[in-house]
Each structure stands twice: as structure tokens, then as C-alpha cells.
Chain A
Amino acid sequence: MQTKRRQFLKRIGTATVGLSLFPTIVKASALGRGGHVAPSDRITMILIGSGSQGRSDLNNFLNLNNVQPIAVCDIDDSQAAKAKKMIDNKMGNNDCRVYKDFREILEKEKPDTALLALPDHWHSLIACAVANKKIDIYGEKPMARSIVEGRAIVNAVERNNIIWQTGSWQRSVNNFRQAAELTRNGRIGKIDYVEVGLPNGGINIGNPPVQPVPEGVDWDMWLGPAPKVPFRGVLHWDWRWMMDYSGGQMTDWAGHHIDIAHWGLGFDHTGPISIEGTGRPNNDGIFNVPVEYDFICEYANGLKIRVANASKLKHGMGTVWNGSDGWIHVGRGKLEASDENILKEKIGKNEIQLYKSTNHWKNFIDCVVSRKETIAPAETGHRSISVALLGEIAMITGEKLHWDPVNEKFTDNNVYATRLLKKPYRAPWKYPA
């Protein structure tokens, strides 16, 4: 039934360029904002992971008025309940189904799309399972917790020919696109050096004792493929400060400012050839991700990208491209350049026009209909996080790494670094094929 719907949507997509804003008599082209969207024309969606980020994305999808979430899955009953309430309120019914095991929701539901908002260590396994069901995916960044896992997602997306949007929503914000477009079109000349400033880490809760698992939480399922450890009070949000689940601010923000750096350089399908740097965690405590970090990537054309705490860099948070004719700095709510006239430049019709999207969530749904690539497809998302993951490996081994971005291996077959390209999975979980 879903396949027929997809074919139907594909025909609609080509027939109506852009989605109609007003409801029309013809039901087939009734998809659109503002008007009532008949149930059969809505894009159905399931959520896997309905924490604060998932619910934030959910809100953005609900505001599109043509998305119909039909089920949520979360290992924490209370999180699932919050999402169900949001959905039921919007839909005006009690129909949203709740699951606790992603295998069950995938077995029983047949949605058009899935919203995945999970801790990093779960990204690959679940994304591949969803892709194999030929469900289009809005997947939160960072792509994955390791490079091998990230590539597995890209392969699964391509193999199953599904639409993927990475949650790198800055691409759908005007100043970021403007900055990247000016840079791509040589307005600051030849780029030789880029700086990416990311937030400080530093949160520290010391060494808490073992604690009872909260009511309604399946702790073993939360852990999934990560090593089995007892519950010590860290569940939502703060898992990102623990290496088993995330790489801290470095990996959390790679999908934002490193992603934009690549965009301005046209590097969405490539990576560095060498990486070296240092990182320092809190001296003590269970939060063991790097809180102070500084690494440099060199690319094949000689260009260098430095990624470090914003507090160490001249321009602070965001991305700075330095070229032969000036510099451009872009961050949230910020766009500045060595010369303000650079920012007034218009991009000509025959120049590089970067993908324009003004709503990241709408862009995904539009592409689900049109079958066109999204603004932040899987390969792009994988390349963005790869920079941070390589930086992380360089910090752990303390070595300068030499990388082959085409074949995604170390050119000197560095044993240590190669081992760190993937994380062992706990039985019974298996790596996506």
C-alpha cells in the first residue's frame, strides 16, 4: 500500500510544481499549507526517539499541516507520552500508537517517513533498519558515532533509494546560505584557511553512584549496542558528555558549523587527507568527552580547517573562511566579513547557486513528494561528522593521521586509528550489513 502511495505522490510531485497554498476542488493537489489536507494526502510519519530534540522536530513537522504522525517509539514511557499528546492534540483524536521497541514499530507500522532522534550510538543500527523498510528518513545529526557506521547509513539510503534529510537545519537559514554562496563564488578569493568555533564542554557531575532506573524506562534498550553499564542517573540530554554514546560538543556541533564550512568549500563529498590535534576531558567524573579541543585538517588542495573551542578563536562561534581577498564569518544570527561590501554582493545567474530552502522540515517533506535530493542528504551528513570523528581519533591516539577520503581508510594503514573507525557492538546487536 505504501509503494502505491509513493508512486501516486511521485505523479503529484511532477504534475504540480511547488505545492499549492490554497485548497482547491481537485483533491489530488490539495496538499499544501493553510488549507485542510485530507487524510489520504497527508504524509504519515513515525517517531523513533521522542526526547526534547525529537519533540522539537515533531513540532516543526506538525506546523506543516500535511504531516500525520501515526506512532511513536521510545524506551521511556514518559517521553513517548509527551510526543503522543502533542500529536493527538494536533490531530484532534487519540489515534497515535505508542511502542517501546523499534523492531516492533517497524514490523507493525507502514509509514511514509520516519523521524529519528536518538542518542548517537543508536543512529546507525536504527537508521539502516528503517531504510531497509524503504521509509524516508529525517535523521538527527550527527550522522553516526563512528565513520563505519556513518557509511553504513549512506549505503542503506542509496541501496533502498529513500529520501534522507540530516538535521543540519542551518543550511535552511538565510545567512548561512548567503555566506556559503559568497564564498563558493570567490567573493573572498581563494580559500586557504577555515576556522570552525564550537562550544565549550565542561559540564561535570563527578562520579555518581549506581541508581535505580526510573519508572517506565527500559535501560538495557537505551544502551542497545553500547557496553552494558549500570544506571547512574544520566539518561536524557547528558549522555552526550559520555564517550560511549557521543563525542561531546565536537560531534554535537559538527553537523552545524563544520557542515557549513564544507558547504562554502564544495566539500560535501570529500574529506581531509591529514588530521592532527589534541583534546582534553574533565580531569575526573563520568563525563569523559573532550571539553577542550583543537585539531587541524588538511585537504588535498592544501586548504586547512581548524576546529576548536570558540573561546580559543578570534571570531568565536561559527565558521570563518579566510581567502586571498578577505574573510567571511557566519554564525547563528551573525554574518560579517572583512569588508561589509562583500556581503552586499549579488550572485549572478550564471554563478553557483546553492540549494535554497527556507524551512528544513518542509524541505524534507517536499522531497518526499518530489523525490528530489534534500538540502542535507546522507553523504553530506556523513562527510560533516567524519571531520569531527577523525579529530576524535587523532586525539585518542595522539598521532597525525593520514586519511584517504575516497576509500575512507588510513593511507598508512595505521592499526590504532583503523580500530577506532568503528565501535564494537554488544551482543545480540549486530552491525548493519
Chain B
Amino acid sequence: MRNIKRILTILFIAVAVLMDTSCTQKPELKALIVTGQNNHNWQSSHIFLNSILKKSGIFTVDTKISPKKGKDMSGFVVDFTPYDVIVLDYNGDEWPEQTKTNFVNYVKNGGGVVVYHAADNAFPDWPEYNEIIGLGGWYGRNESSGPYVYIADGKVVRDNSPGQGGSHGAQHEFLIEALQPNHPILKGLPEKWLHAKDELYSELRGPAKNMEILAYAYADKKYKGDGRNEPMLMTIRYGKGRVFHTAMGHCGGGLFAPAMEGAGFVVTLQRGAEWAATGKVTQKVPAYFPTETKSLTWEFFEDIDHDLTSVINRMKNYDIGKSYDCFNILKKLVSENTGNSEKLKQYNTIILDLLKSDDTSIECKKILCKDFSWMANDSYRTVYDMLKKNPELADEAQYALDRMGN
């Protein structure tokens, strides 16, 4: 009798685990961000990269943070094999030999790599790294690193002229133009779009072996650019590996990074990462994208102005320890639209529906009672009264009623 009970218990638990009541697709691909030293604000950029990858819905993300500059790196041994894609946010001290070997083998054997912005500044003296990234800049790179590669008259030019590798003018918004609009990473996106204010990386040079330029940007001299069409998005094949290189996405000392919040940067990074991991891109093209004349910024790295389904879902399933950004998004939308009765109506409906639904988590309802009661209208009162009857929510519902006042 005991054994039957035990079996039934196990079966019950197994069934409960299989029944995913939230009905969300579980992310399939594993990404690793490597960071910890950089001539940019890596403390922020790796967090933003993490968000961008997670928001695609197809990645779980780990982060490996190196020791500080100048400190003992011997313990920084990384096993890349568990991951589908490595996102590089590092330039600084040399990695231990084992890590370097692991990395090269990982890529050679079919691994995926995303080279993000100043990761192409790293390791000028490590030949395999420079083959993997295709092009690089700064830290002594010159004609011995390989040719300049840029676009002239619609064709890719390899230029072995002597000179330093890597430069950029003043930050500005610049036009991205597709050279290969049908490549999986770019397919379906507009062929020309205005990127957010960013550093326009120019005069990169490197081996550029098995490298394809997907898109470029004109480095206008009025911003102290070199007057050339410089590669912005590239792919490189190294052994069986796939490398996606984006030159965009400067992250400076401020608290937020407008360049990384550029919708075009976000979407191409997500698509580039998926391509690097699998060779295919399954992500849908977003309905809203920057145009040729107008850039588009996604403060939360997603299109919250037009599509709240993902945000609502995250609120619905919120639990302590999970991402809190869904509530910050709603707060921002509310504060920006208090004068817009139609939008406010939409947000009130969202909040009230969440409060009334049995599928909404208790922790979500607590936060809604606490942080959104200042904006409550009369239809909230009955909902709060109802929630008060639930002992788990009585305190928070009372808070909301107190806030509403009489």
C-alpha cells in the first residue's frame, strides 16, 4: 500500500511539473557573456547585454566576470563547451593559456561567438582571436594586423595601406545600410535605418578571413569620420564556428547607454546571436523599427510602446527573485501617459484584469496594490475590497484602499 502511495505521489509530481500553466516557451539556447575588464563601462554593458539576450526569449544567460585589471588571472579558466554562443564584452589582460585554447577549440568545433563593440579592441597579439573577430582596432593594430576593409562603389575593398587600426569621430546618429539584406540576420528588416547616437567604429583592420560584411555606415567627415563606408555588422567563419561581429553599442560612463538602447542594435544583436548559435534565425521581425530618417530607442530593450503581451505575462507570473522590470515598464508608461485618457484606460484595464484574475501570482497582486494604487479610479475600490478577503493580500489591499482615500 505504501509503495502504491509513493508511486502515485511521484506520478502526481511528474504530471504537475509537465503541466506548464504559464504556457511560456522555455528558452532553448545557452549564452555566456564574458566580461570583467574593458575600456568601456562593462559594469553596465554586460547587464544590458544580458537583458537584450533574455528579451529575445530564446536564450538563458550566464556571465563570467574576470578578475580586475592587473590581478592574478590564473584562476580565470573558462569551459565554453556548455554554451551555444559566447558573447564577448571583454578587452584587457591576457587570458590564461588554457582558456585561450578552450576558446579557439570551442569556435573551431562549431561554437558561436558574438563580438560586441570594444571586444574587437582586445588581444592585438593573439593571432587566432584576430582571425575569429575578423577586424579589430586600437592597441597597436596596424598594417601588420591585416588590411582595412570597407565598402567603395558598392564593392568590398581590402586596403593594405599602412596606418593605425581603429578610430572614431564624435558620437552621432548614423544610417545603417544593408549590403546583404537577404542574409538570415537581416532578412525582413528595412534595408536602411537610422541607428541611435553611437561611436562609428572606423579604420578597423584585421585578417578578415572568411568574413562577410552584412551592413555598413558612412563615416561623415563632419563628425570627424574618415569619409568611408565602414563595416558595422559582419559574420566570420572560423573552422566550424560562426562569428557575428557588431561594431555598434558604445556604453559610456552614464547610467544608461542610448547606443545599446537603439532598437536596431538590439534586434540585430539578438538575431546575430541566434545565427551564431544555430546558423539560422527564427526570431520574428519586429513590427516597429527605426526608419531611414528616425531612430528608435527601446529603454527596456523591447518594444513596450506597441506590444505589452510579454510585459503582462511577466507581471502575471512574477515571483520574488524574478525580474522586476515589467513593473518598471508599466510605471514608465503610466507616467508618460497620464494626460492620455485612452492609454490610461488601457493600463487601468491591464492592472484591473491582473488583480481580478486567479491566474495572477499573489506577489504580482501585492505589487500592483502597493505601487499602482495612487492612480486608482473608482472601479478599483470593489477589486481592492475583494482582495482584502484573501488573507495573503489583506495588508496590501488595505494599503491600496488607504492610498485611495475617501
Residue positions of A touching B, CB distance < 8 A = 200-202, 204, 207-210, 227-228, 230, 232, 243-244, 278, 280-286, 288, 291-292, 309, 311, 395-399, 416, 418-420, 424-427
- Kindly identify which residue among A228, A285, A419, A426 contacts B405, using a CB–CB cutoff of 8 Å: A419
B338 closest partner in A (C-beta): A398
Given the interface pairs A227-B395, A397-B338, A427-B398, the reply to whether A208 lies near B321 with Cβ below 8 Å is: yes
Q: Is B12 an interface residue (CB 8 A)?
A: no
Q: Is B299 an interface residue (CB 8 A)?
A: yes
Q: 29 pairs across A/B with beta carbons < 8 Å?
A: A200-B255, A207-B322, A208-B321, A209-B320, A227-B399, A228-B395, A244-B370, A278-B335, A280-B299, A281-B328, A282-B255, A283-B300, A283-B301, A283-B328, A284-B324, A284-B325, A285-B324, A288-B324, A288-B328, A311-B254, A395-B335, A396-B335, A397-B338, A397-B375, A399-B339, A419-B374, A419-B405, A424-B399, A426-B399
Closest-CB distance, A231 to chain B (whole angstroms): 11
- Kindly identify which residue among B337, B375, B402 contacts A416, using a CB–CB cutoff of 8 Å: B375
Q: Is the CB of A204 within 8 A of B338?
A: no
Q: Is the CB of A398 within 8 A of B337?
A: yes
Given the interface pairs A207-B321, A207-B322, A209-B320, the reply to whether A292 lies near B255 with Cβ below 8 Å is: yes
- Kindly identify which residue among B325, B338, B371 contacts A399, using a CB–CB cutoff of 8 Å: B338
Given the interface pairs A398-B337, A427-B398, the reply to whether A419 lies near B328 with Cβ below 8 Å is: no
How many A-B pairs fall under 8 Å by CB?
A: 88
**Docked complex Cα distance between A416 and B335 (Å):** 11
Q: List residues of B (326-348) whose CB comes within 8 Å of A's CBs.
A: 328, 331-332, 334-339
Taken residue by residue from 391 to 405, chain B's Cβ proximity to chain A (1 for < 8 Å, 0 otherwise) reads as 000011011001111
Q: Is the CB of B374 within 8 A of A292?
A: no
Taken residue by residue from 249 to 281, chain B's Cβ proximity to chain A (1 for < 8 Å, 0 otherwise) reads as 000011110000000000000000000000000
**Docked complex Cα distance between A311 and B371 (Å):** 29
**Docked complex Cα distance between A396 and B338 (Å):** 10
Residue among B300, B374, B395 with most chain A CB within 10 A: B374
**Docked complex Cα distance between A186 and B322 (Å):** 55
Q: Is the CB of B324 within 8 A of A202?
A: no
Q: Is the CB of A419 within 8 A of B404?
A: yes
Q: Is the CB of B324 within 8 A of A286?
A: yes
**Docked complex Cα distance between A207 and B396 (Å):** 21
B396 closest partner in A (C-beta): A227
Given A280-B255, A427-B395: 17 more A-B contacts, CB < 8 Å = A200-B255, A207-B322, A209-B320, A209-B321, A210-B320, A227-B399, A280-B332, A283-B325, A286-B324, A291-B255, A292-B255, A397-B338, A398-B338, A416-B374, A424-B399, A424-B402, A427-B398
Q: Is B81 an interface residue (CB 8 A)?
A: no
Q: Which residues of A have CB within 8 Å of B402?
A: 424-425
Per CB-CB distance, the 10 closest pairs between chain A and chain B, nearest first, are A398-B335, A424-B402, A284-B325, A209-B321, A424-B399, A419-B374, A398-B338, A202-B255, A283-B325, A292-B255
Q: Is B39 an interface residue (CB 8 A)?
A: no
Q: Is the CB of B324 within 8 A of A420?
A: no
**Docked complex Cα distance between A287 and B161 (Å):** 51
Residue among B253, B301, B336, B402 with most chain A CB within 10 A: B402
Q: Which residues of B have CB within 8 Å of A395?
A: 335
**Docked complex Cα distance between A431 and B209 (Å):** 71
Q: Which residues of B have CB within 8 Å of A419?
A: 373-374, 403-405
**Docked complex Cα distance between A425 and B398 (Å):** 10
Q: Is the CB of B324 within 8 A of A396?
A: no
Interface SS majority for chain B: helix
**Docked complex Cα distance between A410 and B125 (Å):** 65
Closest-CB distance, A428 to chain B (whole angstroms): 12
B44 closest partner in A (C-beta): A202
- Kindly identify which residue among A207, A232, A398 contacts B323, using a CB–CB cutoff of 8 Å: A207
**Docked complex Cα distance between A108 and B253 (Å):** 52
A394 closest partner in B (C-beta): B335
**Docked complex Cα distance between A190 and B7 (Å):** 85
Q: Is the CB of A416 within 8 A of B255?
A: no
Q: Which residues of B have CB within 8 Å of A292?
A: 254-256
Taken residue by residue from 282 to 318, chain B's Cβ proximity to chain A (1 for < 8 Å, 0 otherwise) reads as 0000000000000000011100000000000000000
Residue among A227, A309, A416, A426 with most chain B CB within 10 A: A227
Closest-CB distance, A287 to chain B (whole angstroms): 10
Q: Is B47 an interface residue (CB 8 A)?
A: yes
Closest-CB distance, A418 to chain B (whole angstroms): 8
Q: Is B51 an interface residue (CB 8 A)?
A: yes
**Docked complex Cα distance between A397 and B374 (Å):** 9
A292 closest partner in B (C-beta): B255
**Docked complex Cα distance between A204 and B375 (Å):** 27
Given the interface pairs A398-B335, A399-B339, A426-B395, the reply to whether A284 lies near B51 with Cβ below 8 Å is: yes
**Docked complex Cα distance between A210 and B322 (Å):** 11
**Docked complex Cα distance between A397 and B333 (Å):** 10
Closest-CB distance, B284 to chain A (whole angstroms): 23
Residue among B299, B322, B331, B335 with most chain A CB within 10 A: B335
Closest-CB distance, B341 to chain A (whole angstroms): 13
Closest-CB distance, A274 to chain B (whole angstroms): 16
Q: Which residues of A have CB within 8 Å of B338?
A: 397-399, 416
Q: Which residues of A have CB within 8 Å of B399?
A: 227, 424, 426
- Kindly identify which residue among B254, B325, B398 contacts A424, using a CB–CB cutoff of 8 Å: B398
**Docked complex Cα distance between A97 and B373 (Å):** 42
Q: Which residues of A have CB within 8 Å of B405?
A: 418-419
B331 closest partner in A (C-beta): A396
Q: Which residues of A have CB within 8 Å of B336?
A: 398
Closest-CB distance, B371 to chain A (whole angstroms): 8
Q: List residues of B (346-381) whose CB comes within 8 Å of A's CBs.
A: 370-371, 373-375
Q: Is the CB of B299 within 8 A of A283?
A: yes
